[in-house]
Structure 1
Amino acid sequence: MKSLRYCLIAGCALVFAYAGSLSAEPRHAITLYDEAPKYPADFGHFDFVNPEAPKGGTLRLSGMNGFDSFNPFIPKGNPADRVGLLYDTLTYHSPDEPFTEYGLIAEKIEKAPDGTFVRFYLRPEARFNDGHPLTAEDVAFSFQALQEHGDPLYRYYYGDVEKAVIEGPHQIRFDFKHAGNRELPLILGQIAVLPKHWWANRDFTKTSLEIPLGSGPYRIAEFNAGRSVRFERVKDWWAKDLPVSKGMYNFDVITVDYYRDMSVALEAFKAGHFDYNFEYSAKDWATGYNSPALREGRIVKEELPNHSPVGMQAFVFNIRKPMFQDRRVRRAISLLFDFEWTNRQLFYSAYKRTQSFFENSDMAARGEPSDAERQILEPLRGKISEDVFGEVIKPSVTDGSGLIRDKQREAYRLLRAAGYRIESDRMVSPDGTPLRFEFLIAQANLQRVLLPFKRNLSELGIDMQIRVVDVSQYINRLRTRDFDMTSSIWSQSSSPGNEQLEFWHSSSADNPGSRNFIGLKDPAIDALVEGLVRADSRESLVNHAKALDRVLLWGEYVIPNYHTDVWRIAYWNRFEHPATPPAYDSNNGTGLMTWWVKPDAKPSSGENMQEKR
């Protein structure tokens, strides 16, 4: 342990040599810090599944705003929902553990003792759904295609990979540029393996509605462009009897019908036009499901505990814009968002204020820095504010009455200190430029949250215009950084790592398509992100995350919104699911692919609605 001050050199060397030899052995699963996985090599199935779940039936789901592509890997287009069901990955990410990967395509995984490579031993029986064998050639092709032509996220994820070496038809090794990146072997295990032979005469960089070939549990049977997709279970799926697949993918058919907005979708759900709804709106959860079907028990509402980090949902300042480059201006604008009134009047008091970029986890900064956090922050003294070494900054709090005169006065003082003044009832900069900006959104229902915020801003002479655009335009404007403010979510896992480079690091600021929407280019933040990625223990990871959290919060780069620590789901009662869902499931906490249709269930009523188009 780190707290021990002394140990015999020979004894330590023996322990480390033993640990290294263990990490060099091919294993059925790998973990972030080489701790033992929850499930042993001979496990039969996961605890969160029913291995005897019957196969059959149809699950009908909803989507929003259409789609124009079946290629989810590139930074173009709007891919169809659930298209990931077409593909297998080298490993299966366990939703029952913080960060463990079990072999899927890869029967065994071997990590170098010094962390300089990872080797995957592929199952000889793995094949694509056209019967073509899946080999190391396909893995190497997939890695190269994703790294060179995929979404910028992949370049950050795989940036420390020196090369992929095919060692045999069923064996591939990834060599790393640097030792010590513990997360990289697990990330490489999550590669969706694409068929090299199918892509040989196709352009991977283009959006397309040609039905792609995969090796996964489902294939696309038919679709109506932008309106609906029908997936059918691959009944001879090569991996159906593996321990990581038992009790999963039980529906013969999964359909996704697309709706114009959530309000129309909710009415369609209550009418029986689709089966399962994850609810985002507190108002709709409180009142929107009232119907004969709910009162008669044909619709079930459940709240499931959310054990996963919720990350940060926030209004985002694009600090590339001149008016947002002064922290005092950002803080002043933040003070005028009245969460307490919004929560009470619009959300039935269902939400909690988000106070961390790692909210709902042990990685969220609270109070003053611990000694361990101070050790991380101390080398940055002089490059970060002295305030970071004190109490963590929190969003402002109001009494919920809607009267925020004290916040407006504080905001005015900050703006005056930044050189602003009131002129003809407008807040203007030192050169006379009005403080005016556009808030870009794609979902019209967000306007009800923004309009009270807009009113509070206007009372101080600040002009915020709300611009609603379609999804395609919204995505393109985000990618090209053509926005002043917008709403965004930075989701977090229980073991954050390389994706933080894409969120906050200088290297991502100018890359179209990265999630560095803020435009951060701060050497201190870079150092904290790099330290987090290199963390060599869970304790170190948590402390680096807390230190990073403090600096990001102090910068006032976003206006934190709100969150709930439960998942809100509603479904028609012809379904059953295991009693205990996986603790860390990213699919709204439900483990939906472990559900099944009751053998005696009657179909829900309802045909496709014309207005959903």
Structure 2
Amino acid sequence: MRILEISGKSAIGAMARTAILALAAVAAMPLASAAAPSHALAMYGEPALPVGFSALPYVNADAPKGGTIRLGEPGGFDSLKPWVLKGNPAWSVGVHVAEPLMLRSLDEPFTLYCLLCATVETDPDRSWVEFTLRPEARFSDGTPVTVEDVIWSFETLGTKGHPRYAAAWGKVRSIERVGDRGLRITFSERDRELPLLMAMRPVLKKAQWAGKDFAASSLERPIGSGAYVIEAVDPGRSITFRRNPDYWGRNLPLTRGMFNLDSIRYDYFADTNAMFQAFKAGETDIWRELNAVRWATEYGFPAVTAGAVVKSEIAHRRPSGIMGLVMNTRSPLFADWRVRQAMILAFNDRFIDAALAGGSDPRISSYFSNSALAMQPGPATGREAALLAPFAAGLLPGTMEGYVLPPGSDRALDRKALREAAGLLAEAGWTVGPDGVLRDGNGRPFAPEIVLNQSGSAMRSGAEVQQIVNIYVEALRPLGIMPRVLLLDSAQFVQRTNRFAFDMSWYERGLSLSPGNEQALYWGSASAAQPGSRNWAGIRSPAVDAMIAQAVNAPSVDDHVAAVRALDRLLTAGRYAIPVSYPRVSRIAHAARLHFPDHQTLYGDWPGFLPDLWWSRSP
């Protein structure tokens, strides 16, 4: 693993400028004018890598094979089927066992390269897409990956799989075989991203699931075509993957320098504190540190001083995404934007971040902050303003003119913000009674239930989230708000959030540099009532739906950026979440024998990076 020295604002500014210049270069490229079989598919312009490339530019093409990596996960699992709604699955199965038709490039925001397919073809309007499978593609049991497997996988995922697959499948008019190794998908509506979405669907083995309830949770080991097979499973405690020496794609230029480790093991722990202790003791090999103070002060334990563990910082140019407390607008408590703004005002992030993390990391200012896709300060202008104009009458304050989070105070209670919050609550019909409790006109108390996962999350430990919430609860008391905090185990938390059975919850959503149809699953009106969707806030907004549609069908990068920036404004000014700070670099402590390539990609530490590009070598 390489160590990158990042120096605050200047480095981040340089990265942002580079990202904007890269997007502008792509914007200048014309859209494909004619259908022809290709090795790759780009949303805009042409793929960066030509036919016959030797390897992806960010891999170590000569990385040695062998060794192991041991990773930690909070919580547990009771299923090996991450493609269905039921159960609490081991997500790693979907990453290591199953493969899609095409693979995302970490160096290009919106480009895929053929993996299971030999070629891809689509028309200029993207009304259809045709894939031709590689004849050598095989499942791990040695049987060929067939057109029937692909068609069955897409149909089954779209009708019986997790709801995240349903929206794209609903736009498929037909899917049919073409010749011996080809299939064509024709779409029923205009959506330029659909060919890429279908190319990224996992391909499963039809014969394995014949006669079985695919929608059911299961511990049956899936057979996939990926580089790894499941070697051992201890339900809820650990899962180990073994590199398949007969992996069909091991000699492809696309996979050169990837999938280097012989064994990948995930151990599950009660919470992230237990995970960190296991890492310090040498029981796991990787630790992602999210607290800047701990990174600077708490890495003097013996494994570090002895050189067995090293620290690396990895820069990136991807959006911050959203992380913090989400308010469920399905709850009558949070239907009014003034109430949500009051809750944001009461959250003194400046004090909380300083107390818990030293205040060195910036606060998330919008859903796409830290990237060229982020809304710009001040009023909306140009194409962005034009996209929002038809909805102006129904937009919340701050959308068109610009929305900024409250600055906060260096003291525990931000009294100025609390006074403003009390005024907004009164406007919304909430007043404090003689008993000091905030109530509505019918006497019902304002007592939101805050549901938390005691095991923590991908970006925050359970203990840290609880600390944040505890400080927040105390700040709410002067307003007469008495929240109920409910700690749940991972399985219960998944069940509650899948049903949207909460008033507030800790929420994290990573966002990419190629936002498209998945945004509808996160914030679209149709997903608000769809169990298992990521629209925890219950957003139902015609303007949000329209901006997602504009982003999906944008004819150029400039139009796409304008639509995403407009979407960013709507989400941020919608006041659905109370954001916290985020790290501008990924901080990873790891065993010194583990290494990663020197090339800095747009995405940095992102799916497809760790452990896919890593290798093991004696220190």
**What is aligned with 2:253?**
243
Match of 1:9 in 2: none
Q: Which amino acid aligns with 1:574?
A: R
**Counterpart in 1 of 2:485?**
466
Alignment-derived partner of residue 55 in structure 2: 45
Match of residue 279, structure 1, among 270, 289, 302: 289
Aligned counterparts, 1:505-516, within 5 A: 505-516=524-535
The CA deviation at 1:590 is: 4.7
- For 1:471-515, what per-residue CA distance to the aligned partner results, in whole angstroms no more than 9, with x for missing partners? 111111111111000011222110100011112221111111111
**Could you say what secondary structure the match of 1:118 adopts?**
strand
Establish whether residue 151 from structure 1 lines up as the match of residue 148 from structure 2: no
Q: Which residue of 2 aligns with 1:304?
A: 314
- SS of the residue corresponding to residue 359 of structure 2 reads coil
| Aligned mate of 2:92, from 82, 99, 102 | 82
Match of 1:20 in 2: 33
State the match for 1:230 in structure 2: 240
Aligned pairs for 1:88-487 (under 5 A) are 88-179=99-190, 181-366=191-376, 367-385=378-396, 387-390=398-401, 392-423=402-433, 424-442=435-453, 443=456, 444-445=462-463, 446-487=465-506
Unaligned ranges ≥5, structure 1: 1-14, 602-613
Gaps of 5+ in 2: 1-28, 457-461
Q: How far 1:133 moved relative to its partner?
A: 1.0
Letter in 1 for 2:451: L
Aligned residues: 580
Deviation, 1:92, is 0.7
State the alpha-carbon separation in 2 of the partners of residues 168 and 145 from structure 1: 22
Deviation at 1:527, TM superposition (A): 2.0
Give the number of the structure whose alpha-carbon radius of gyration is greater: 1
Give the C-alpha shift of residue 586 in structure 1.
5.7
Query: 1:278 touches 1:588 (CA, 8 Å); kept in 2?
Result: no
1:550 pairs, out of 565, 569, 591, with 569
- Once residues 115 and 166 of structure 2 are traced to their aligned partners in structure 1, the CA distance between those partners, rounded to angstroms, is 23
User: Structure 2 CA distance, aligned partners of 1:364 and 1:19?
Assistant: 27
1:582 counterpart = 2:582: no
Deviates more, 1:420-429 or 1:197-206: 197-206
What is the rounded CA distance, in whole Å, between the counterparts of 1:340 and 1:379 in structure 2? Answer: 36
Paired with 1:88 and 1:65, the residues of 2 have a C-alpha distance of: 26
Structure 2 distance, partners of 1:242, 1:563, is 37
Q: Normalised by the size of structure 2, how large is the TM-score?
A: 0.91
1:282 deviates by: 3.8
Give CA deviations for 1:327-357 in whole Å, capped at 9, x if unaligned.
1111111101011111111012232111111
Q: Distance in 1 between matches of 2:604 and 2:199?
A: 18
1:496-575 matched pairs, under 5 angstroms = 496-575=515-594
**8 Å Cα contact 2:319/2:367 also seen in 1:** no
Q: 1: CA distance between counterparts of 2:597 and 2:156?
A: 38
Displacement of 1:386 after TM fit?
6.0
Shift of 1:529: 2.1
Tell me which moved more, 213-222 or 288-297.
288-297
Distance apart, 1:533 and its partner CA:
1.9
What letter is aligned with 2:493? Y
TM-fit CA distance, 1:203: 2.2
TM-score (norm 1): 0.92
Query: Counterpart of 1:494 in 2: which secondary structure?
Result: coil
1:382 alignment partner, SS class: helix
Distance 1:306 1:589, change over 3 A: farther
SS of the residue corresponding to residue 369 of structure 2 reads coil
User: CA offsets per residue over residues 70-114 of structure 1, 9 Å max, x none?
Assistant: 101001112114212111210011111111100000111001133
SS of the equivalent of 1:128 reads: coil
The whole-number CA distance in structure 2 between the counterparts of 1:132 and 1:493 is 35
**Identity score, percent:** 37
Q: Deviations over 1:500-539 (max 9, x none)?
A: 1112221111111111111122222222222222211111
Write the letter of the residue equivalent to 1:532: A
d(CA) in 2 for partners of 1:404, 1:499: 37
Residue by residue over 1:292-326, the C-alpha shift from the partner in whole angstroms, topping out at 9 and shown as x without a partner, is: 22122221011111211121113111111111111
The answer (yes or no) to whether the contact 1:135–1:169 under 8 Å persists in 2 is: no
Task: Kindly provide the amino acid, as one letter, of the partner of residue 232 in structure 2.
Answer: E
